[in-house]
Amino acid sequence: LSPAMHNAAFKKLKIGARYMLFEKSQEEFAPFIAQLKLTRVSGFNVTVPYKETVMPLLDEVDEQARQIGAVNTVVNKDGRFIGYNTDAFGFITSLKSDLKCPPRGKNVFVIGAGGAARAIGFALAREKAREIRFYDILSERAKKLSQDIIKTVDAVGGGGNTEITFVHNMPLNRRKIFSGIESADILVNASTCGMKTGDPMPIDPALLPEGIVVYDIIYNPSPTKFIEAVKARGVQAVNGLGMLLYQGAAAFELWTGKAAPIEVMRGALEEGLRECRKK
């Protein structure tokens, strides 16, 4: 979907550029980045699982991206590759715009502890959520992420009184696994669970408390089984299309120095999703 979004924006603003996809293995990734430096590329996006891997390969990393510990956007500035993170901006903008749910003073339960969860957790702390609780199938990963974010917000003084913690993985009792969900105002699925056909839902919708809102960063398939299930229970929920849109708009502006044509980009994303459903 990203090529459709960005290429529509380039066309609208009459910019002579093209956005293309490249899939690379772990072994191919670093040599590919080195090869890109020899081209006229203006910039590029990096997706999972390379948002952290790419950082030491860059000439410079923006301070916010360094604090988050993940890069999703790279700009070629006079031959130097500079890394940024637009995921945090994209998530918060979508949360406020699409769910009408500013996180300030809210309890947030985040499923997942990868690069997307890092950006989301950092953004939630900066927005002064009351509590952020992480769950990952690997509890040590959730623990490390919570500790990393605590250190970061303490260092920059942006988290206020946000409590950041993690849930121990106790698979014999699903209610204990999701301890804290009962007091959550916002649930974020920041894992890849739901991206593939046959994936289980990230959490049993029956565990969701009344009044909670759900943000699932998965945008394809749309809707996911999880989104369908929680909406069937009357829960307000959105997928990650808005996050993709707003992080993409921020990346576009970094690459071009021009205001992103948001509605053109949104239309291209929606059309791309319709095409995906036909396949």
Residues belonging to the active site: 51
* Closest C-alpha among 250, 265, 259, 190 to residue 65: 250
Q: Within the chain, how many helices (H) and strands (E) appear?
A: 10, 10
Chain centroid offset of residue 158 CA: 20
Give dist(CA 93, CA 100) in Å, integer: 10
Distances from the Cα of 206 to the Cαs of 49, 178, 201, 229, 233, in angstroms?
31, 12, 11, 9, 8
Distances from the Cα of 142 to the Cαs of 106, 133, 138, 168, 216, in angstroms?
20, 9, 7, 8, 18
Give dist(CA 224, CA 215) in Å, integer: 12
